[in-house]
Structure formats: C-alpha cells, structure tokens
Amino acid sequence: GSLINIASTAGIRPRPGLTWYNGSKGAVIITSKSMAAELGPDNIRVNCINPVFNPDTGLSAEFAGGPVDEARRAKFLATIPLGRFSTALDVANAALYLASDEAAFISGVCIEVDGARCA
C-alpha cells in the first residue's frame, strides 16, 4: 500500500509569524518518515508532499496575514526560481507518482513541489 501526506514547504523553510503552522507541517513531515519506518515491514510505503504557498487558495489571506494583493504576490513569486506558483495539478501529479508502481521503492521521503524555492 501507499500513504501520502500533504505538509508544506513551511515545515522545512519556516516563515515569520507562522510558528504554529510551520510546526504543524514539520510534525506531518516527521510523522510521515516515522510511519514509513514503522509500516515498511508490512509493505506499506509512506511519503509526503510539500507544496509551496499558492495565493489563489481559499486560505491564502489567513496564511499571508491579510489580503494578497499584486505587490504581495510579486514579492513571494520572486522567491520561486521557476517563476510561478504551484497548482493543484502539480501536487496531484506528485501524488500520482508516489502512489504508482514507478515509486515502489520510495518510502519515507518528502517531495517539495515548490519550483526550487527550498533548493
């Protein structure tokens, strides 16, 4: 089997003002790794996906501490080397890969879907 958890790049590259969010995502990451070690003998793989912030989601204003205007979008976008925000399809494609037979020997990893922001 395969379990895939969704965390965030905030779990590996924390941002100011988001201590509890950052910590909760870090907990998802380490829990995923721990579960991989624990469930591996039962042939269950556990992995994690860390998407980068997307200002077009329903919770973006709460995450950003207020409305995400064009100036804020541009400032955050400048931190992503590939020059665009992640999309739901980017995250879904990573999940499809991790759940596939092509990833049969991959367990206990987190894939950053972040356009190299955390590189």
Dihedral angle at the C-alpha atoms of 55, 111, 21, 37, nearest 10 degrees?
160
Which pLDDT value is given to residue 66? 83
Which pLDDT value is given to residue 57? 84
Q: Which residues are catalytic?
A: 21
Residues above pLDDT 90, as percent of the chain: 81
- pLDDT per residue as tens digits for the range 26-41: 999 999 999 999 999 9
The mean of the pLDDT values for the chain is: 95
Domain boundaries in the chain? 2-53+85-113
Query: What is the reported pTM?
Result: 0.91
Residues above pLDDT 70, as percent of the chain: 100
Task: At 49, give phi and psi (nearest 5°).
Answer: -120, 130
- pLDDT per residue as tens digits for the range 72-105: 899 999 999 999 999 999 999 999 999 999 999 9
2-53+85-113: what CATH class? alpha beta
Predicted confidence (pLDDT) at residue 64 exceeds the cutoff of 90: no
Please give the angle made by the CA atoms of 73, 79 and 83, to the nearest 5 degrees: 75
- Quote the CA–CA distance of 26 and 19 in Å, as a whole number: 10
Q: pLDDT-derived band of residue 119, with 50, 70 and 90 as boundaries?
A: very high
- Quote the CA–CA distance of 115 and 81 in Å, as a whole number: 6
Task: At 4, give phi and psi (nearest 5°).
Answer: -130, 120
